[in-house]
Chain A
Amino acid sequence: MAGVGELLEGKRVCICAGSGGVGKTTSSAAIAAGMAARGKKVAVLTIDPAKRLADSLGLPELGNEERQVDPKVFEDAGIDTQGGELWAMMLDAKATFDELVRRHAPDAETRDRILSNRIYQQLSNALAGSQEYMAMEKLFELHAEDRYDLLVLDTPPSRNALDFLEAPKRLMQFIEGRALQVFMKPTGLGMKVFGRGTSMMFSVLRRLTGVEVLEDLSEFFQAFSGMVGGFRERAKRVNELLANRETCFLVVCAPQGEPITEAVYFHRKLVEAKMPFGGVIVNKVHYESELPDHDPEQLRSELTTALNDEDLTQRVISNYENYRALAARDRKNIKRLTAEMRARLVIQVPYLDTDVHDLAGLMRINDYLFAAGARERTEIAAEA
């Protein structure tokens, strides 16, 4: 199996999934930059852009609309993109939800009633899974607009990295749930209660809370009821996009035991859900090729001669032994992962000494992501 370039051949959507803190945002940015450098028009969608990286790409203020990285950034790095473009946007769940309401509201009056409704304003921020769903929604919208060769989604950090798979279903379960249905059906309890605008309950609650809570609730549910069909259809199509053959899921993880176990779990869940799984990127790997076998006594002797400092020599040796132990641990964990993947792509990216905060750093990662194979990656690591 080759690298990310071959894996994404003919793909229109690349979804990077994984737990927080494993380098998912950086991997997503590197893949997008790498594909742009290969002549593609690419947009990367992220929830939390790394600030220094965004700054260095000339995008200090990212919003819910895509912005293009100045082609000069690539030129300055000596990269000929051959017409490729890199765009980036920061996912804003609230703004996307607002856009969705604008799209599905039957008329301008309903739209304005919902958007200005206090219940909606709270709900659109707090709705369980809304961030995950809105990420999918934005992805779907951009895909439908067909303005990019490739969309790369850096999935939102969440307790379960696969929450987004369930997000469309959860949104519909909420909208179609019994509680909402009661309020939205014109013959239901909601109308019986809220239809009496001057009811005693309203005035008591108003006195107690000081706000028009029930009026807001009533208005929200009644206005929202006309949009359920549109939401349902949309969620179905988002699900179809996720399972589409032009979509590719990449799981991003780190080489420690727990992240590897999670990656194995994500892989199984994606396969079970019949999602188009591409492979795994293992970040922060201690490559053994960087740490050759040695005769301990000979190394001690060489270091003592070169450094002329027993204490420093001892610390260098201790550090080296520590690194070799970590490399052995990483190899063992990745072996377990590779066995689980059954010939699927497993790309190892080394633990870099410094944070990636510019295009040059992304391209250094791409040396590994886009390398022709595992042997080439090992050689790059040894020479780095």
Chain B
Amino acid sequence: MPVNETASLEHTLTEDVGVSVDRVYMNALYPERFSKDEAERLEAVSSDGNGALRAACRAALSETRRAAAQREQLARLAELVTAPVRTLPFVFEPELGVGEIHELSEAID
């Protein structure tokens, strides 16, 4: 659910329905796998390389940008809602298996 709708839902639940909200979860948060310095190195390799080398570096840069954009939204969410905000990690497996469910349940707890 997008940030604006989440904030609106929390407001409706607390103000109109009279239900308290204990936590807000932001699902599918990308990991921050690469530092800023590493991203700059990957950018340089990506510009010079080709084929799978270039594609792998570009995929890493994509994830870095997406992770940063998500954290901007996470900060906005935390500002807009009153309940504590927790995060759940992005699951890269195509289908949820026992391992992934366990990982998520650990994060929810």
Which A residues are within 8 Å of any B CB, using their own CB?
A: 20-21, 48, 157, 257, 290-295, 298-299, 302-303, 306-307, 309, 312, 315-320, 322-323, 325-326, 328-329, 332, 351, 353-355
| 29 residue pairs A–B, Cβ–Cβ below 8 Å | A20-B1, A20-B2, A20-B5, A21-B2, A157-B5, A257-B95, A290-B58, A291-B55, A292-B55, A294-B52, A295-B52, A299-B53, A302-B52, A302-B53, A303-B45, A303-B56, A307-B41, A315-B33, A316-B56, A316-B57, A316-B59, A317-B56, A318-B33, A323-B63, A325-B93, A326-B94, A329-B95, A351-B66, A353-B61
Top 3 closest pairs, chain A to chain B, by CB: A294-B52, A329-B94, A353-B65
A291 partner residues in chain B, CB cutoff 8 A: 55, 59
Q: Are A354 and B56 in contact (CB under 8 A)?
A: no
The CA of A358 and the CA of B1, in the complex, are separated in Å by 22
A320 partner residues in chain B, CB cutoff 8 A: 52, 55-56, 59-60
Any A CB within 8 A of the CB of B13: no
Any A CB within 8 A of the CB of B51: yes
Q: Are A306 and B45 in contact (CB under 8 A)?
A: yes
- Interface of B, secondary structure class, is helix
CB distance from A68 to the nearest CB of B (A): 24
The CA of A295 and the CA of B49, in the complex, are separated in Å by 16
Any A CB within 8 A of the CB of B79: no
- Interface of A, secondary structure class, is helix
Q: Are B53 and A303 in contact (CB under 8 A)?
A: yes
- Residue in A157, A257, A318, A322 with the greatest tally of chain B CB atoms within 10 Å: A322
A292 partner residues in chain B, CB cutoff 8 A: 51-52, 55
The CA of A267 and the CA of B13, in the complex, are separated in Å by 31
The CA of A313 and the CA of B62, in the complex, are separated in Å by 16
A299 partner residues in chain B, CB cutoff 8 A: 52-53, 56
